[in-house]
Amino acid sequence: MPAPTLLDREPEPGTVTTSAPVTQVSPAEIHADEQFCNKLEDRALLSGPNRRLRDLQLLYSVAKDFILGFRALHFVGPCITVFGSARFDEKHRYYQLARDMGAAIAKMGFTVLTGGGPGIMEAANRGAKDAGGRSVGCNIRLPFEQSHNPYLDRWVTMEHFFVRKTLLIKYSYGFIIMPGGFGTMDEMFEALTLIQTRKLKSFPIVIMGSDFWPEMRQFMDHMLRGATISPEDLDLIKWTDSVDEAVAHLQDKAVTQFGLRRHHVPQSSSLLGEKALEGAH
């Protein structure tokens, strides 16, 4: 007897068979979204061969992103970058944990750097402001989640995801990974890969929100058993839900290891139109 098709199969026990209500999207909204996406430089850059002049224009767009990022972030002082989902509101426990962590980072003398958006990013920036510290963001232009959060002393908006990710890593002496989605996974594994391959110094990586990560930890153990990573690779990660433990790890692996000084900021030049971050002395 042939196997039943997917449509013929009975639902798994415990599954819900009723359809959830679907929000209708108007043709005008679809058109507006498509028009916006067509303006995104990344879409053209990643769409295969272009005319030579168009590729030159796209190369200029990438260089422009880097230059804007360099000018915005060079004078903000040593940063700790906080990665995490944009989808948690201020009532969520992960939001509060990120806010507490942002405040603790600021009290250490670091600038809190995030992707500049809502959710975990907003929480960490907000925590920095709570503690009277410096708070900056490196935002990305998207059809959604494109507005920066209101807790930033300085921000820059990027066209290209890979430029943004490079800048978030470039100015950071440590990384806090909070629960998140594809983007957070991308950022976390980018940092781990750069450190593993020694493209980047061994900056501390702290992963918080333990109840979110058990399957990820199991999968990392699976990679270890499969010999696709080494035991020392797992030593790159500090797993904790304790803000105090995270601070102690940052103190040991960032401040002490690299001899960082509290509030050390490169000197800016007014002749070049450079401006230090307010309060960064």
Map out the domains of the chain as residue ranges: 63-262
When pLDDT is cut at 50, 70 and 90, the band that residue 20 belongs to is very low
Residue 259 is predicted with a pLDDT of 75
Residue 171 is predicted with a pLDDT of 94
Q: How far apart are CA 162 and CA 155, in angstroms?
A: 17
pLDDT at residue 22 greater than cutoff 60: no
Average per-residue pLDDT in the chain?
85
**pLDDT tens, residue by residue, 28-60:** 766 666 666 666 777 788 888 889 999 999 999
As to burial, measured by CB atoms within 10 angstroms (0-12 exposed, 13-18 middle, 19+ buried), residue 19 is exposed
Q: What pTM was estimated for this model as a whole? A: 0.82
Does the domain at residues 63-262 carry the CATH identifier 2.60.120.10?
no
Identify whether the C-beta of residue 167 lies closer than 8 Å to the C-beta of residue 138: yes
Alpha helices in the chain (DSSP H): 27-38, 41-45, 52-73, 93-107, 120-130, 161-170, 182-196, 214-225, 231-234, 243-250, 257-258
